[in-house]
Chains A and B, each alone.
Chain A
Amino acid sequence: MLGVAFRVGAELVAAMVVGVGGGLVIDRWLGTSPWGLIVMFVLGSAAAMLNVYRAVNGMGYAVGYRRPDTGANSGGGTNSTPAKDEGEGNRGH
Chain B
Amino acid sequence: MATDPLHQFRIEQIVPLHLAGHDISFTNSSLYMVVAAVLVTGLLVAGTASRALVPGRLQSVAELLYEFVSGMVRDNAGTQARPYFPLVFSIFAFVLFGNMIGMVPGTFTFTSHIIVTFTLAALVFVFVTLVALIRHGFHFFSFFFPSGAPIALAPILIPIEIISYLMRPVSLSIRLFANMMAGHTMLKVFAGFTITMIGALGAVGWLAGAVPVAINVALIGFEIMVAFLQAYVFTILTCLYIRDAIELH
Name A's B-contacting residues (CB within 8 A): 2-3, 6-7, 9-11, 13-15, 17-19, 22, 40, 43-44, 46-48, 50-51, 60-66, 90-92
Contacts and interface: CB of A to CB of B under 8 A. Distances in A.
A65 B249 contact: yes
Contacts of B237: 61
A22 B174 CA distance: 17
Interface stretch (B3-11, B86-94, B155-163): B155-163
Contact of B167 (A9, A51, A60): A51
Given A63-B144, A63-B244, A10 B163 contact: no
A17 B170 contact: yes
- Determine the main DSSP class of A at the interface with B: helix
Interface in B218-249: 229-230, 232-233, 236-237, 240-241, 243-244, 247-249
B76 A19 contact: no
Contacts of A47: 160-161, 163-164, 167
Nearest to B222: A2
Contacts of A9: 175
A87 to B, nearest CB: 12
B26 interface: no
Contacts of B75: 90, 92
Contacts of B206: none
A17 B178 CA distance: 14
Contact of B244 (A10, A19, A43, A65): A65
Nearest to A11: B171
A64 B178 CA distance: 27
Given A10-B174, A60-B244, A15 B167 contact: yes
B233 A7 contact: yes
Contact of A18 (B76, B144, B163, B229): B163
Given A43-B160, A91-B236, A64 B146 contact: yes
Contacts of B243: 60, 62
A69 to B, nearest CB: 12
